[in-house]
Amino acid sequence: MAAPRANYISLASSWRGLRAPTSRLGHTPVATSRQAYRQTLSNRRYFSSPKGEPERSFRAQLYESTAQRVKRERAEQRKLAEQSSIWETSGARRGALTFVILSSSLFCYFLGSSTVGQPSTASTTTLAEAKAPRHDTSPRNLQSSWADLVAIVGQDNVSTQEGDIRNHSGSEWSSYEVQENDRPFAIVRPASTEEVSEIVKVCYKRRIPITPYSGGTSLEGHFAATRGGICIDFSRMDKVLALHKNDLDVIVQPAVGWESLNEELAQEGLFFPPDPGPGAMIGGMVGTGCSGTNAYRYGTMRDWVLSLTIVLADGTIIKTRQRPRKSSAGYDLTRMFIGSEGTLGLVTEATLKVTVKPKEESVAVASFGTVRQAADCVAKVVGEGIPVAAIEILDDVQMRVINESGATSRSWKEVPTLFFKFAGTPASVKEHISIVKQLAKSKGSKSFEFATSKDEAVELWSARKQALFSVMSLKRDAGDHVWTTDVAVPISRLPDIIEETKEDMTKSGLLGAIVGHAGDGNFHAILLHNDKERQKTEELVHRLVKRALEMEGTATGEHGVGLIKRDYLEHELNQDTVDAMRRLKQAFDPLCLLNCDKVVRVQKPKRGEIHEW
């Protein structure tokens, strides 16, 4: 080491400096030199000893200095080694901690991706399992979409005017009470299937909810924009695309009205049987699976649709089948979309069956003392198998309302009344009128009047078609509302439910009328109420629906489910069936963009929103 070596050099130099003096002859006396050397060593000191301690020799101090230096260096080396060990240990700990964190993160990711992130393998989806839709209806997103929509249909066909928005949010004849936020951002009017597809693609990309709209005659809140977004109005898609007279089918767009369609078909000696309320259009008729007065003989909308062109929630265009009257090719998607109320896809074309227009039609009207007698007559006619085209029932209140409103050109007896429609050959019509007249008499009819001409037939039948609007005309002020609901029961239970409902309506004190497609066990209750009477009306309707279900009936015969009837489905069917419907909705519309909240709930209701059963 450098320091001890320096001491050795100093020692050697000192040794040389202590050589004894020489004589003249060059010889040094031995005794003298040794004595002087010892004296010098004993006198010379490099360190002073502490006071009170014996003085140490130079050699001892030299050895001690060297040992202390070595000791210090070793101590410093140990300290460095310990610090290095500490750093190495700390780094190892940090590395181990990092490894644990990363490993845990990877494990959690793997666990999450292998369980939660994977689609459920269940066949149904309960309401508790359903996740609330995540739409983007922020002003920025909606305003940005406006340019995209204008690029598709043109600026004239995208409206944000207040009047348009209000008209597409609800109607005065709807049972659903429109909420403040049930308003679309814009009304978009496409002219083709391709334009509808492009509009839906924009909404799919931006997560904007869609509400379809055709005739706007629905009654259960079907076109209320509960999630905002945009409303697709099909009013420009109102064309009859093709008529195949020899095949008895016609291809139409969704905004073709059934009345105008029949006017066109009549020129070819054909007609389309489903006949719901005035103003109804094919798109909405498909959506609700409607029927009308002709359902007893001709069936409902489901029986008259051959094929549909549908735009799905991501903009995909599908066609459910070809034009043949029968097919066993795959799933029956046609019937699946009928009655889906625009929640699974948007109808842009429909291929409909048509039939030959009867050579003869006539109408008869029979009055009765009680609504029970009238209902019993219906059951008797149906039981005898008389091929009547339609059987409609109107109670005494409804007949009085028609007179008070002046809705028709004649005055009627204000008693329960049956309206019969007959169709066929002149001979068969005459025969059937005679048979029904006798059956009505046997059930207590007070009068029986039948039309002798087409004009009389139209006049007699007009009373039935004016039922809803005649009640609406009796509104006491702007605060009055009309609630129209329907149920259906097995035909044998029709007299019971009509009589019980009539009594319930009388006790409620509300102005309420009964109108029904009695031939297939379906009837309507039309109620007039104000805001203060809203709860009373809701309770009356609830009792009516509950009564129908207890008689093995249905909560809705032809109006559809919409927002009003959705919570009755689990009582009519069962919870698993409704859960299967919810699963179907998720399969076709996973983002819940199409007419959200209709038919089945997609998130839990608020407290008090559902009537106790």
- 3-state secondary structure at position 220: coil
Classify domain 240-356 by CATH architecture: 2-Layer Sandwich (3.30)
pTM: 0.79
Distance CA 498, CA 453 (A): 32
Q: What pLDDT score was predicted for residue 57?
A: 63
Calculate the alpha carbon distances from 163 to 159, 174, 233, 391 in Å. 10, 18, 14, 40
Alpha-carbon 513 to chain mean position: 34
Q: Could you tell me the pLDDT band of residue 609, with boundaries at 50, 70 and 90?
A: confident
On the 0-12 / 13-18 / 19+ scale of CB atoms within 10 A, 207 is middle
**The domain made up of 360-564 is a member of CATH 3.40.640.10:** no
Q: For residue 93, is pLDDT > 80?
A: no
Work out the average pLDDT over 37-64: 54
For residue 392, pLDDT beyond 90: yes
> pLDDT per residue over 423-452, tens digit each?
999 999 999 999 999 999 999 999 999 988
The answer to whether residue 267 scores a pLDDT higher than 70 is yes
| Res 111 pLDDT > 50 | yes
Asked if residues 336 and 344 have their Cβ atoms less than 8 Å apart, the reply is yes
Rounded to whole angstroms, how far apart are CA atoms 438 and 448? 10
Give the residue from 558, 557, 556 showing the smallest Cα distance to 566.
Answer: 556
Closest CA to 560 of 295, 272, 310, 340: 340
Q: Is the pLDDT of residue 114 over 50?
A: yes
Which pLDDT does position 494 carry in this prediction? 92
Helix axes of 426-442 and 371-383: crossing angle, nearest 10 degrees: 130
Kindly list the domain boundaries of the chain, sorted by start residue.
2-44, 139-233, 240-356, 360-564
Residue 51: pLDDT over 70:
no
Mean pLDDT across 147-171: 96
pLDDT at 225: 96
- pLDDT tens for 306-365 read 999 999 999 999 999 999 999 999 999 999 999 999 999 999 999 999 999 999 999 999
Is 328 in a helix, a strand, or coil? coil
pLDDT for 117: 56
Cα 200 from Cα 198, distance rounded (Å): 5
CA triplet 591, 595, 598: central angle to 5 degrees? 105
Task: Say what the pLDDT of residue 454 is.
Answer: 85
Across residues 580-605, what is the average pLDDT?
96
Report domain 139-233's class. alpha beta
- The gap from C-alpha 171 to its chain's centroid, in whole angstroms, comes to 22
Give the total residue count for the chain: 613
DSSP 537-585: HHHHHHHHHHHHHHTT-BS-SSS--TTTSGGGHHHHS-HHHHHHHHHHH
> What is the pLDDT, as a whole number, of residue 248?
98
Residues 149, 562: Cα–Cα separation, whole Å: 27
Question: Of the given ranges (58-62, 183-187, 388-392), which has the lowest mean pLDDT?
Answer: 58-62
| pLDDT for 34 beyond 60 | no
CA distances, 291 to each of 48, 144, 254, 606 (Å):
126, 41, 16, 33
Residue 13 — very low, low, confident or very high, per pLDDT cuts 50/70/90? very low
Closest CA to 403 of 447, 463, 446, 460: 463
Q: In this structure, are strands 522-529 and 481-488 parallel, antiparallel, or unpaired?
A: antiparallel
Tokens of 136: 């983007």
pLDDT in tens, 205-224: 999 999 999 999 999 999 99
Question: How confident is the model over 408-424, as pLDDT tens digits?
Answer: 888 899 999 999 999 99
Q: Which of 172, 193, 316 is nearest to 251 (CA)?
A: 193
* Dist CA 173 CA 468 (whole Å): 9
Using the predicted structure, report yes or no on whether residue 85 has a pLDDT greater than 80. Answer: no
Average pLDDT, the chain: 87
pLDDT greater at residue 407 or residue 264:
264
